[in-house]
Structure 1
Amino acid sequence: MDITPLLDTFGERTVVAGFGLTAGLLFGVMAQQSRFCLRSAVIEFWRGSWGEKLSVWLLAFAAAVVCTQLFVALGWLDTNTARQLSARGSLSGALFGGLLFGIGMILARGCSSRMLILAANGNLRALLTGLIFAVTAQAAMSGALAPVRTWISGLWTIEGGTARDLLAAFHLNHVGGMAFGFAWLAVGIHLVRRHKLPLRWIIGGLGVGLAVALAWLGTYSVGRQAFDPVATQSLSFTGPSADMLMLVLVPIGKSIDFDTGLLPGVVFGSFFAGLFARELKLEGFKDGPSMRRYIAGGMLMGFGGMLAGGCAVGNGVSGASIFSLTAWIALLGMWVGAGLTDWWFDRRADNRARLMVDTADAAAVAP
């Protein structure tokens, strides 16, 4: 993809920020329309329902894997320089960070990307949780929590390169990666047909995965043709949220990049999609206990996401689409942490509530 005219006209940083804005807009629209949410997918999986939300997540995940691996196989994209593969990684950080993030997204009733989508539609709970998430992520990156993050990350590390590449570990090429993606796409299509998902949910799920793949392609194309180094990256919301927070608070000396365009793009995309669908609605907290739960969830996601090197999208879709070992470990941690937390906090509470109702009904009909 020749983008030299764009680089000559607008400059490298402006073009890469434009790619971020475009990918964010696409993700915002598609995620809002499809109700894309890892937390809901995990709950359906662990509760054995395998319903609509898991279907959407599988469509997004599979589309990201297939399209990304297709771009690599065609020679359009090289992900070997991506941070998730090239840099030294932390297995301990991926595991513990993924667990903490999974716990947090159950408490907050949504992952960090879902908070951004909901906040753009008027959800004040999501707005507060997202701000706490960003503050905690910044504290974990370079603030008061950074020493703790560094210590946990250093417990078990792995070299970059083929050591972090699952395709290399299993002696598979990128066609094998595409086949893996198609297998999960088939599962997603089966669930879609079983549950008769609305067309906009299907398109939205596939569009989320496409946004991830196009972001990889766009940043790689700029980096290959730009004079200054530009990182090959895709969608993620932990580091970008922390950076955006500092850009708003201390804008002096900050340069624009892919992440600068990404978050505003997601917000605008979700807002206009909600406006068009007449789904904008101002919502707040119901009570004090629920507020404490959301705050705790935002903090756990912020620290866990920074520790794991990415969020539910950054690791679970973007990192997984290039078969990064640490991304897959973090994704596994998210599924396990979320499943255990859902069982401990929500399923047990639901069971207790049903038991109380059944007891009351039995007492009411007793002679």
Structure 2
Amino acid sequence: MDIDSLIESLGERTSIVLAGLLVGALFGAFAQRSRFCLRSAVVEFWNRQGRGRQAVWLFAFAAAMLATQGFVAAGWLDVSQARQLASTGSLSGALLGGLLFGIGMILARGCASRMLVLAANGNLRALLTGLIFAVTAQASLNGLLSPLRTWLAGLWTIDGGSGRDLLALSHLGQPAGVLFGLLWLAVAVHYAQRSRLSRRDGINGAGAGLCIALAWLLTYQIGTRSFDVVPVQSLSFTGPSADVLMLVLSAPGQPWDFDIGLVPGVVLGSFAAALWGRELKLEGFRDGYSMRRYIAGAVCMGFGGMLAGGCAVGAGVSGAAIFALTAWLALIGMWLGAGLADRVVDGPEKKTAGTSAPADPSLQP
């Protein structure tokens, strides 16, 4: 069944929700099997230990970029109206939000998408972190924290259009996007070989990245056939987590969109993958300090992600795949913030343990 037949038989809104559910389920399964997580990659990078988690993240990053730019080159996708490019952007929000999100990743021991994946596997730490993350994101969007976010975002803004498009700013053109994706793929392969990463993990990491390109493609194709406004978008977990929270708390009748299908889809996909791999396991907090740390990390990620315009996936991969300037600044901020937090917060504990690996099992993603 093609997209036209799907829309005709199910309707526009149902089709876009099902697209979110499908892409979310695929992403959840691939992310669960590959252990895809920006936080793990950053910790490896800054501690100069191993290359496996970096390779997985780079496979996802390269696959998302290559496929997205390939769809654009083939004429199947137009991302010029995506919010990361078309609307007014905040350079200050991207930098500050990225730094804060990176700090939160270390405190919570996982990025927003990783928390969602782990919660579906029975990790109660991730479940609590995800709930607080969603509440903070909503408070940053329209609630108590909204004035602070608006002020910080307004410190340094940039008009939408070519000014936010790195390919346009560099005058390299769209083919450079494909070449850049190939470069990252080569780095991923090199790291995979050095770390002896299994082929299965590499494929699953790439699968997670392909889901991001698939989301861009599906939302664009459905949007061009819809009478209603359907924004072209890809995976992100800051705004969607807040949307799902408000859907649960609000009266019935709220409009459904791609994001509403995305979050439950990730949960279902991750749960199914963990069930198949026999990895479902209830896990909780070890002590009060761990709980305080996770809560602080969730707040930092919720506010930082909304300020930056996306999470480690939304800005760090989805936005970077279309070469949005603010997304790349946010991604750089996340790497810097996470590296600093890992050195300050977890560095002393690693030295005390007398090994490069954390003594506390809960330090593992």
Alignment of 1:66-77 (within 5 A): 66-77=66-77
Alignment partner, residue 342 of structure 2: 342
Structure-2 residue corresponding to 1:208: 208
> Could you report, residue by residue, the CA deviation over 1:69-116 in whole angstroms, capped at 9, with x for unpaired residues?
000000000000000000000001111000000000000000000000
Match of 2:256 in 1: 256
Structure-2 residue corresponding to 1:143: 143
Partner Cα distance (1:65, 1:251) in 2: 39
Give the structure 2 partner of residue 244 of structure 1: 244
User: Within 2, Cα distance between the matches of 1:87 and 1:191?
Assistant: 36
Shift of the alpha carbon at 1:353? Answer: 3.8
Compute the displacement of 1:200 (Å): 2.3
The aligned counterpart of 2:39 is: 39
What does residue 134 of structure 2 align with?
A: 134
Q: How does 1:143-222 map to 2 (within 5 A)?
A: 143-222=143-222
Give the aligned partner of residue 269 of structure 1. Answer: 269
Residues 34 and 205, structure 2, Cα contact 8 Å, conserved in 1 = yes
Deviation of 1:50 (Å): 4.4
Q: Match for residue 363 of structure 2?
A: none
Is the 1:70–1:174 contact (alpha carbons within 8 Å) kept by the matching residues of 2?
Answer: no
- Alignment partner of 1:275: what SS? helix
Q: Tell me which moved more, 158-167 or 5-14.
A: 5-14
How far did residue 2 of structure 1 move? 5.6
The amino acid of 1:292's aligned partner reads R
Give per-residue Cα distances to partners, 1:49-86, cap 9 Å, x unaligned.
24110010000000000000000000000000000000
Q: Deviations over 1:150-207 (max 9, x none)?
A: 0101110000000000000111222110100100100101111222212321111000
Q: For 2:253 and 2:18, how far apart are their aligned partners in 1? A: 20
Q: Which residue of 2 is the match for residue 231 of structure 1?
A: 231
Task: Identify the residue that residue 102 of structure 2 maps to in structure 1.
Answer: 102
Give the TM-score, by structure 1 length.
Answer: 0.95
Return the letter of the residue paired with 1:110: G
Q: Which residue of 2 aligns with 1:333?
A: 333
Structure-1 separation of matches of 2:207 and 2:117: 15
Q: Counterpart of 1:360? A: none
Amino acid corresponding to residue 250 of structure 1 in structure 2: S
Gaps of 5+ in 1: 356-367
Report the secondary structure of 2:197's partner residue: coil
Looking at structure 2, the residues matched to 229 and 2 of structure 1 have their Cα atoms a distance apart, in angstroms, of 20
Q: Distance in 2 between matches of 1:206 and 1:351?
A: 34
CA displacement 1:223-263 (0-9 Å, x = unmatched): 11111110000000000000000000104341110001100
Letter of the 1:183 partner, please give it. Answer: L
| Corresponding residue number in structure 1 for 2:116 | 116
Q: Which moved more, 1:135-144 or 1:253-262?
A: 253-262
Give percent identity, aligned residues only. 65
> C-alpha separation between the residues in 2 aligned to 1:244 and 1:71?
29
Q: Are the aligned partners of 2:50 and 2:195 in contact in 1 as well (CA < 8 Å)? A: no
**Worse overlay, 155-164 or 2-11:** 2-11
Deviation sequence 1:317-357 (CA, Å, 0-9, x none): 000000000000000000000000000011122113439xx
Cα distance in 2 for residues equivalent to 1:263 and 1:149? 24
The residue type paired with residue 265 of structure 2 is: G
Distance 2:157 2:2 in 1: 38
C-alpha contact (below 8 Å) 1:28/1:269 kept by paired residues:
yes
Would you say the 8 A contact 1:87–1:160 is kept in 2? yes
Residue deviations 1:28-53 (CA, integer Å, cap 9, x gap): 00000000000000011111124110
**RMSD value, Cα:** 1.2
| Amino acid in structure 2 at the alignment position of 1:273 | A
Query: In structure 2, how many angstroms separate the alpha carbons of the residues matched to 1:254 and 1:297?
Result: 30
Query: Could you tell which deviates more after superposition, 89-98 or 170-179?
Result: 170-179
Q: Which amino acid aligns with 1:129?
A: T
**What does the per-residue CA deviation read over 1:92-146, in whole Å, with 9 as the maximum and x for residues that have no partner?**
1111000000000000000000000000000000000000000000000000000
| Partner SS for 1:217 | helix
Give yes or no for contact 2:85–2:161 (8 Å, CA) kept in 1.
yes
Between the aligned partners of 1:251 and 1:236, the Cα distance in structure 2 is 24
SS where residue 256 of structure 2 aligns? coil
Distance 2:249 2:306 in 1: 20
In the aligned structure 1, how far is the partner of 2:228 from the partner of 2:129?
36
1:317: which partner in 2?
317
Structure 2 match to 1:278: 278
Amino acid aligned to 2:329:
I
Q: Aligned partner of 1:30: which letter?
A: F
* Counterpart Cα distance in 2 of 1:330 and 1:133: 18
Moved more, 168-177 or 103-112: 168-177
Distance in 2 separating the partners of 1:83 and 1:192: 34
SS at match of 2:104: helix
